Amino acid sequence: FVVGNHNRLAHAAAQSIVEQPGHRFNPLFVYGGVGLGKTHLLHAIGHAMSRQGMQVLYCSSEQFTNDLISAIRQQNTEEYRNKYRQVDLLLIDDIQFIGGKESTQEEFFHTFNHLHAGGRQVVISSDRPPKEIATLEARLRSRFEGGLQADISQPDLETRVAILQSKAQSINQTVSTDVLMLIAERVESNIRELEGALNRLIIQAPFHDRQLDRSVAEEILDTLVPQRRPREAASVVQIVARHFHLTTEDLLGRSRTKEIANARQLAMYLLREENGLSLINIGELLGGRDHSTVRHGVEKIAQDIERDEGARREVVALREKIYEPPGS
């Protein structure tokens, strides 16, 4: 488990839990996108506590629901409750899927209370923080927010290279830093795809009858992971507008309402960072705005990303949209 800025808090909290389960961070609520290491971290916590002789139970929220349905059908709810409540550590993966399932939420609420009151540890993973699970009951949201919420975000370039180095070492493969850097530059989405690209590179390289260097890696990766290019600048403005249920005219116009101003600044940021447009060109594209206005907008979004998880998620979602090929 390679630690970087993207997962440092979650990793530190996991270590604390293993040392003192049920005390400081209970529950631990780990959230982040697909393939970023949430399940890996849950399993690591479980293995460490199992080695201490503790009773550990890992399951997905879907399994929790299916077990409840089976228990109701077979009229053995007591056995079901004993299974989940007589453990030292309960690990629940993808809790967002219990949203809207009233009976499952009711049962989990009482299970959680039973474990928490007994000083037993609960660790939960989700693809979003509790406040963003729309159909989650308020009382469960309150319980989840009462512990520690730890975000696992996308790793930066340096961390992606470190992850690849660790992976190569684990499978006894020597791969040059140049090649690892190339993979890390091409694959930004998640760790699963990052490691998958390395595996495919190692498997296909022998068929090229040359040493695995950057040029060979480029040939292979061009077919596996084509270089992504952002949509045209005008399309980026349209995508941002649609994302916020606005029109392009709203972003080009003079309205300074909070919603429109924020969307406009996000468009400025993306056009600068992803399309590489100059401040002057961005200003012209967005209704003839001054370059100092554009600079302020870009800097504001950059600051928001640093301190606000919601802003960071918004940029990630928009970035994915502007790299989608037209018509997808």
pLDDT computed for residue 224 by the predictor: 66
The domain spanning residue 187 has which CATH number?
1.10.8.60
pLDDT computed for residue 225 by the predictor: 57
Whether 25 maps to a domain, the answer reads yes
pLDDT computed for residue 328 by the predictor: 55
- Can you give the pTM of this predicted structure? 0.64
Last residue of a domain, one of 123, 152, 181: 152
Q: List, in order, residues 6 or more apart from 212 with CB less than 8 Å away.
A: 175, 176, 179, 201, 202, 205
Whether 328 maps to a domain, the answer reads no
Whether 50 maps to a domain, the answer reads yes
| 137 & 12 share domain | yes
Report helix angle 177-186 to 214-224, nearest 10: 20
Whether 3 maps to a domain, the answer reads no
The predicted-structure confidence for 6-52, as pLDDT tens digits, reads as follows: 888 999 999 999 999 988 899 999 998 777 889 999 999 999 999 99
| 16 & 145 share domain | yes
For residue 163 the two structure tokens come to 């992850």
> What DSSP assignment string belongs to 135-199?
TS-HHHHHHHHTSEEEEE----HHHHHHHHHHHHHHTT----HHHHHHHHHH--S-HHHHHHHHH
Q: Which amino acid is at 179?
A: V
| 173 & 298 share domain | no
pLDDT computed for residue 226 by the predictor: 55
| 141 & 262 share domain | no
| 168 & 247 share domain | no
pLDDT computed for residue 327 by the predictor: 62
Domain membership of residue 193 as a residue range: 157-224
Cβ atoms 291, 283 nearer than 8 A: yes
| 41 & 174 share domain | no
pLDDT computed for residue 310 by the predictor: 82
Whether 78 maps to a domain, the answer reads yes
d(CA 179, CA 183) in angstroms, rounded, equals: 6
| 32 & 139 share domain | yes
Whether 86 maps to a domain, the answer reads yes
Whether 104 maps to a domain, the answer reads yes
Last residue of a domain, one of 152, 183, 201: 152
Q: Which amino acid is at 239?
A: I
pLDDT computed for residue 273 by the predictor: 86
Nearest Cα neighbor of 30 from 54, 49, 16, 11 is 11
Cβ atoms 169, 51 nearer than 8 A: no
**For the chain, which ranges sit under pLDDT 50?**
none
Q: Order of strands, edge to edge, in the sheet holding 89-93?
A: 56-60, 89-93, 121-126, 28-32, 148-152
Share of residues in the chain with pLDDT > 70 (%): 97
